[in-house]
Structure 1
Amino acid sequence: MKTIKGPGIFLAQFIGEKAPFNTLEGLAGWAAGLGYKGVQIPTSNTALFDLELAANSQTYCDDVAGMLQAHGLAVTELSTHLQGQLLAVHPAYDTLFDGFAAPEVRGNRAARQQWAHEQLMLAAKASQRLGLSAHATFSGALAWPYMYPWPQRPAGLVEEAFAELARRWRPVLNAFDEAGVDVCYELHPGEDLHDGTSFERFLEEVGGHNRAAILYDPSHFVLQQLDYLAFIDIYHERIRAFHVKDAEFRSSGRQGVYGGFANWVERAGRFRSLGDGQVDFRAIFSSMAQYDFAGWAVLEWECALKHPEQGAAEGAAFITDHIIQVAEHAFDDFVKSGTTQAQNRALLGLTST
């Protein structure tokens, strides 16, 4: 069995205009001071990390890795959540998602999609140069507005949406395959890949592509009322990245999983800082150890109540406390009998008389 690496921290929610949150080195020193051993780096902010330069310059990647190493840190994964989102956008969300794109392609759906494709291709090369084995992203969404079947969905609508999603992702998956890196989709409401069933549909459309993998985040399953422990049992072979993120679901006479358009504080399902929600992380880390997950346990902090710096400070110790140092031998080896094959056959009554 393998021991999970960690604790790591996803930097996206902590980027700010003031030091130490306005540079990668400043964030690295801050994270290391809290006890983190790895950082997941968003690639949509060139001031933090220059994705194009990283894809084309081994020197740049070595400098980034060296700077992080000087703080006792490693890169866990690069993230293209925003760029992955833009690979597939339903027109209803054009205006809202345009801000994720480079200014020169905003307002031009085809140019925006091509830009997102190029960004993902750069991420494959950058991940390879950094010696990474996994990459974090979103799938994007074409069918999400039709998630609830009212009005009744026309025959073939969902099938065509997933066929198109696969057409857009297959070249990207192939590029990551050449780079030796898994594409780990965070299964997330708002994405066409948001649960096991939707992931399976996509996997079938891409021919079971070996690089199509899962970023496991139990918080999104709590909000969907999906069994997040059974999910690991079913999909552990495809889980190759891990966000440690808490959540709670408190249904009422007024709202359930859809939330009734309430804000985050008032929703029945809401994200919480580690330890403040309902997720059974003891059971999750046990399952991860059981199935030999060898990746990083990475804090993604989002909470409707707590200050982010408090959540980050508490998160490193929380993850460290939950990582299981796996055993190197069975607990009862001290009483093993040491029998031979012949003795085993005799014990089973399989010897000739």
Structure 2
Amino acid sequence: MKYLPEKPPIYGETLDSLQARFEELGEPKFRAKQVLEWLYKKRAKSWDAMSNLPKSLREKLDNTFEIAPSKRVLAKESADETEKLLLQMGDNAMVETVVIRAPQISVGQENSRKTICISTQVGCAYGCKFCASGLAGWKRDLSIGEIVSQLIHVCHQEDATTERASEEIASFDNIVVMGMGEPLANYKNLLPALRILNANWGLNFGARRITISTSGVVPRIEELADEPEQFRLAVSLHGATNAVRDQIMPVNRKYPLEKLLPAIQKYAQTKGRMITLEFILIEEINDTLEQADALIKIALDLKAHVNLIPYNTVDGLDWRRPSIARQDTFYNRLRNRGVSVTIRREKGHDIAAACGQLKLKNESDLAS
């Protein structure tokens, strides 16, 4: 399914494409850089705010581009300061963007590192059995501008409450592409969007602070390894054997571990970066000592970091989170064998922060 808006989002334009468009409109090319500065550095929310542009050009921009390809429908904040934004696109499709705040102490005062989790698709076709994102199926890919605009929503929101240092453009510290959808299934729009965020005329956001997550789309992992940017890679493993991955992740039937692990190894060696293996712990599915031992071998072979995530319960699904004791036993098994491992205790459970939950709940409420 493809959504064709009446006007393309301005946030999908690069400096080169905008300069070319301005030439078509009979406008000088230098105006393109002015427009991008208004959008990314000055955070203009309307064409009229771009006060150093001629009125005639602002009218052309209004007739040519959409400056607000999405609108915020809902924002919910949890007790642990995780915040989820529900955004509605021009065709009424909804996606989620999450702001994860991690308090830390620096120079004697408390600061908060902000990680933004963005979506790449409306729904998901990959059907992981434990995930809310795919319960309603895949609707469509997000466009380049729709992906970028999620970060702009966050910038506008954070600017209202946090004073930016003069040299800062972004209002956050990290971007993780781990929201709704399989990011590498929308590769054609994801890479240009991240390059806009990375560009010095965009948000000037370092590629090393952007993590792309995948359930294991092997050809795109290999393609990503050949890209020049130093993006971080996180692989949603969730099972250390084919039998377990087959049970909960349909993608494993096409790209089993025999294909997936060499692709991960290639990425790690090409980029010289440590890979993260995401592993959601589900009671009596993948939280056994046998799974721990298989995961230890994979992690040590790949020299990868393991991020354990106790399952975040989803309405309508029967999976359960292991007890704290089982979580700790699994974690200690890995740590004691020399695996680099962390365990991420749940964040945002009280606001349905698992991917797709808030969207499903909101759509259900609207239907009832």
Q: What is the TM-score with the length of structure 2 in the denominator?
A: 0.40
Larger fraction in strand? 2
Bigger-Rg structure (1/2) = 1
More helix, by proportion: 1
RCO comparison, higher one (Cα < 8 Å, 6+):
1
TM-score (norm 1): 0.41
